[in-house]
């Protein structure tokens, strides 16, 4: 507040408060035994505060249902959380071999080898291919990587960098509806006038949507890994007849029709996967609202599960709040195979599309 003068009242004259006696003088005027008592209380309060600061901060069960002491045990291959250090240690290496071309036949070979404990590449996370730019971005190959469980980003050169994650964040309808965080968010939207927001799948207007994503991430992170070339591969793969891959761009509009948040993702069969997104920073937690409404829309539309991608906490605590369960690589790929459908000729129904009013998503779960 330094440098700012207090404006005068309506009368035009600045009012001044009467001088107050110095606090130190008032304290010194107290009897010695009273001053000693005050000092002791202050010291005890300071020591208690310092001790509390050293203790690890626990996540409140009101925002994270998975931290409940009463949470049931998970099956083998699943866990409730993973740290970034654990994630990186699980698959610290990168695989790149000139003898492995960017072809459909290469993908199951690498997946099977990555699942074998004695293959020598089971500790690899990223798998790069040698080939021309056209081969690396070939739409069917690009889509088959995603259908097979690879989370594809881009490297510093803008080339595709497929990752077979050691851990995946998975959200089912049961875990989504079991999250206190989600229920509280939906209840708050209901109290605030029935939710003015609307979700729209705007994949048909992908270029406009991508420019908003690009501007947001360049300003915030100085780069956007979901490049224009990446989007083009998604569009072409989604348009390929008979290929089980669909691009989705879910925008959230406010009551005036303004886009205030967006989510880029894709679906294979009844599995939806998040890639990237953006939201306006207004203090209204629009990103969280958009994700919670999207979760309701996905499960009401019949999706078996929502793959949230990278899942370590506390860096991605919001995914934990949504209700994610962590799947180890083998367990996730088994779940994916069960619900993604055949890559060609089956499971290609487009379950998400059009638009939905937020108020229609506020009712309790269930289709």
Q: Hey, what domains does the chain have and what are their CATH numbers?
A: 65-78+167-361 (3.40.630.70), 79-163 (no CATH)
| Residue 80 structure tokens | 């409730």
Which tens digit of pLDDT belongs to each residue from 123-169?
Answer: 999 999 999 999 999 999 999 999 999 999 999 999 999 999 999 99
| Residue 25 structure tokens | 């003088």
Beta strands in 193-340 (DSSP E): 198-201, 246-253, 259-268, 271-279, 305-309, 325-328
Longest dimension (CA), the chain: 89
pLDDT of residue 161: 96
341 or 49: which leads in pLDDT: 341
Sign of CA pseudo-dihedral 352, 357, 362, 363: negative
pLDDT of residue 58: 39
Which tens digit of pLDDT belongs to each residue from 209-250?
Answer: 999 999 999 999 999 999 999 999 999 999 998 899 999 999
Which tens digit of pLDDT belongs to each residue from 331-340?
Answer: 999 999 999 9
| Residue 36 structure tokens | 């000693």
Find where tokens 């730019």 sit: 133
328 or 70: which leads in pLDDT: 328
Q: How many residues does the chain have?
A: 367
Least trusted range by pLDDT, from 8-22, 160-174, 280-294? 8-22
Q: DSSP code of 237?
A: H
pLDDT of residue 163: 97
């Amino acid at each position: 507040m330094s440098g700012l003068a207090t404006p005068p009242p309506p009368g035009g004259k600045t009012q001044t408060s009467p001088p107050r006696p110095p606090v130190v003088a008032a304290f010194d005027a107290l009897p010695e035994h009273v001053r000693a008592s005050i000092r002791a209380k202050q010291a005890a309060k300071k020591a208690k505060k310092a001790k509390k600061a050293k203790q690890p901060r626990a996540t409140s069960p009101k925002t994270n249902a998975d931290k409940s002491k009463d949470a049931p045990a998970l099956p083998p291959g699943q866990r409730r959380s993973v740290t970034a250090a654990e994630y990186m240690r699980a698959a610290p290496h990168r695989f790149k071999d000139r003898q492995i071309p960017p072809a459909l036949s290469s993908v199951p070979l690498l997946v099977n080898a990555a699942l074998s404990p004695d293959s020598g590449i089971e500790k690899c996370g990223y798998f790069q291919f040698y080939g021309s730019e056209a081969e690396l971005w070939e739409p069917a190959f690009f889509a088959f990587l995603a259908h097979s469980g690879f989370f594809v980003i881009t490297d510093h050169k803008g080339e595709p960098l497929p990752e077979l994650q050691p851990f995946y964040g998975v959200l089912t309808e049961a875990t989504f509806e079991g999250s206190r965080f989600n229920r509280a968010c939906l209840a708050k939207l209901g109290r605030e006038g029935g939710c003015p927001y609307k979700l729209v799948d705007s994949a048909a207007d992908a270029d406009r949507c991508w420019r908003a994503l690009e501007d947001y991430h360049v300003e915030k992170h100085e780069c956007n890994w979901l490049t224009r070339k990446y989007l083009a591969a998604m569009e072409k793969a989604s348009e390929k007849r008979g290929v089980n891959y669909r691009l989705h761009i879910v925008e959230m509009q406010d009551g005036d029709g303004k886009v205030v948040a967006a989510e880029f993702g894709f679906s294979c069969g009844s599995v939806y996967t998040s890639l990237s997104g953006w939201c306006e920073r207004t203090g209204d937690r629009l990103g969280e609202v958009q994700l919670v409404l999207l979760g309701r829309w996905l499960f009401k539309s019949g999706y078996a599960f929502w793959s949230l991608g990278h899942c370590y906490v506390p860096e991605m605590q919001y995914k934990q709040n949504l209700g994610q369960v962590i799947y180890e690589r083998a367990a996730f790929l088994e779940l994916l195979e069960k619900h993604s459908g055949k890559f060609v000729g089956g499971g290609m129904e487009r379950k998400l599309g059009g638009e939905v009013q937020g108020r229609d998503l506020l009712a309790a779960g269930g289709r």
